[in-house]
C-alpha cells in the first residue's frame, strides 16, 4: 500500500463571473490514490466536496460523529463546517472528487440531512463516476459552454443523491424551523450590512438568549458564526471573480475593518485573502 498520497488528476475551475452567479460551479476536482498519510482537517473551507470512493476505504468525522466510507459510496462534505476525513490506514482509498460552489447547496445539504448522514451508502456509483469523468473532461476543454455543461453534470449527481435518500430517507430529515429560516434569509440578503444579534432575534420573535439556543440546535452553529462563515464565503467569490482590492472586498461583505476581515478570513480558511486568491487562481501552491 502507498504511504504517500498520489494525485492522478488535479484540475482548477475557470467559470466566468456571470456564470458563477447562476450555475453550480466546480472550482477544484481530481482523482487521487490515497496513502496512509491522506488526511484533511479544516475548521472551514469554501464550497462542498463530493468524494466518490472507487476502491479501498476511508472515513469522515463531522458533527462529532465518525462515519466509514466504503467502495462505491459517495461522501458529501459541507466544508463550511468543521470536518476531518482521510484514508483508512490498512486499506487506503482511491477517490474521484469535486469541490462545488453555488447558493442552493447549503439548503439541499440540509434538506437531504447530509449534516446527520454525510455518506450515501446506496447510490448509483457508476452513474456518478460517469458524471465526474465528464466533469474532468469539460474542465480541460476550452469551450465557452463547458461551465454550463459542468453545471448539468453536478445537477445530475445531486439528482442521484435525491434518489438515494428518497429510497431510504434518514430519520433526521427535517426542514428548518420557520423562525430560523426567516433569519437565515435575512442574513443572506443583508450580510453586507451591520447585523446585531438583537436584530436577528427580533426577526425570529425571540429573546436573544433563546434565539441563540434555537438557532444553534437547528443549524449547528451560533447565528454570528453562521454570518461570519457566509460573509467569508461571499468574500472568496469576490476574490476569485473580481480584481477588487482586499480592502474593497472586505467592505463589500460587511467588514468595516480590513485587519479584522483578514484575521477572520485566515481563521476560517488558514489562508490570507491575498494568498487564497493566488492559490485558487493557480498562481502559487499552498505550502
Contacts of 201 (CB under 8 A, 6+ apart): 207, 208, 210, 211, 212
- Top pLDDT among 128 and 172 is at 128
Residue 174 phi, psi dihedral angles, 5° rounding: -165, 160
pTM for the structure as a whole: 0.60
Return the pLDDT at 169.
44
Is-contact 8 31, C-beta < 8 A? yes
- Point out which residues pair with 42 in neighbouring strands: 83
Q: At what angle do helices 178-190 and 197-204 cross, to 10 degrees?
A: 140
Distance (Å, rounded) from C-alpha 215 to C-alpha 184? 10
Per-residue b or e along 145-183, where b marks 16 or more CB atoms closer than 10 Å to that residue's CB:
ebbebbbebbebbbebbeebbeeeeeeeeeebeebbeeb
The model's pLDDT over 30-39, given as tens digits with 9 standing for 90+, comes to 999 999 889 9
> Where do the structural domains in the chain lie, given as residue ranges?
6-167, 178-280
Please state the rounded mean pLDDT for residues 188-215.
92
**Superfamily for domain range 6-167:** Regulatory protein AraC (2.60.120.280)
* Architecture in CATH of 178-280: Orthogonal Bundle (1.10)
Distances (CA, A) of 55 to 84, 128, 157: 20, 14, 19
In degrees rounded to 5, what are phi and psi of residue 223? -60, -40
| Region 55-74 average pLDDT | 92
| Residue 173, pLDDT above cutoff 70 | no
Interval 125-144 mean pLDDT: 93
Q: Which of 32-41, 153-162, 164-173, 245-254 has the lowest mean pLDDT?
A: 164-173
Amino acid at each position: 500500500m502507498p504511504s504517500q498520497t498520489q494525485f492522478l488528476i488535479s484540475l482548477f475551475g475557470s467559470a466566468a463571473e456571470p456564470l458563477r452567479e447562476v450555475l453550480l460551479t466546480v472550482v477544484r476536482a481530481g482523482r487521487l490514490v490515497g496513502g496512509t498519510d491522506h488526511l484533511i482537517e479544516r475548521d472551514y473551507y469554501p464550497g462542498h466536496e463530493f468524494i466518490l470512493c472507487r476502491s479501498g476505504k476511508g472515513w469522515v468525522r463531522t458533527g462529532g460523529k465518525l462515519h466509514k466510507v466504503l467502495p462505491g459510496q459517495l461522501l458529501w462534505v459541507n466544508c463550511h463546517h468543521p470536518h476531518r476525513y482521510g484514508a483508512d490506514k490498512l486499506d487506503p482509498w482511491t477517490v474521484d472528487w469535486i469541490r462545488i460552489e453555488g447558493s442552493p447547496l447549503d439548503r439541499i445539504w440540509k434538506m437531504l440531512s447530509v449534516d446527520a448522514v454525510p455518506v450515501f451508502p446506496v447510490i448509483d456509483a457508476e452513474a456518478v463516476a460517469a458524471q465526474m469523468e465528464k466533469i474532468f473532461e469539460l474542465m480541460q476543454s476550452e469551450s465557452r459552454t463547458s461551465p454550463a455543461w459542468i453545471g448539468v453534470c453536478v445537477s445530475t449527481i445531486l439528482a442521484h443523491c435525491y434518489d438515494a435518500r428518497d429510497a431510504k430517507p434518514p430519520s433526521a430529515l427535517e426542514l428548518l424551523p420557520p423562525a430560523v429560516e426567516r433569519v437565515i434569509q435575512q442574513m443572506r440578503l443583508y450580510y453586507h450590512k451591520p447585523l446585531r444579534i438583537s436584530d436577528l432575534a427580533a426577526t425570529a420573535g425571540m429573546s436573544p438568549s433563546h434565539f441563540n439556543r434555537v438557532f444553534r440546535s437547528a443549524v449547528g452553529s451560533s447565528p454570528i458564526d453562521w454570518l461570519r462563515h457566509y460573509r467569508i464565503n461571499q468574500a472568496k467569490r469576490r476574490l476569485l471573480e473580481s480584481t477588487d482590492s482586499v480592502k474593497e472586498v472586505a467592505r463589500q461583505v460587511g467588514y468595516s475593518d480590513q485587519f479584522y476581515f483578514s484575521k477572520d478570513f485566515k481563521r476560517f480558511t488558514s489562508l490570507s485573502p491575498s494568498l487564497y486568491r493566488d492559490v485558487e487562481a493557480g498562481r502559487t501552491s499552498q505550502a
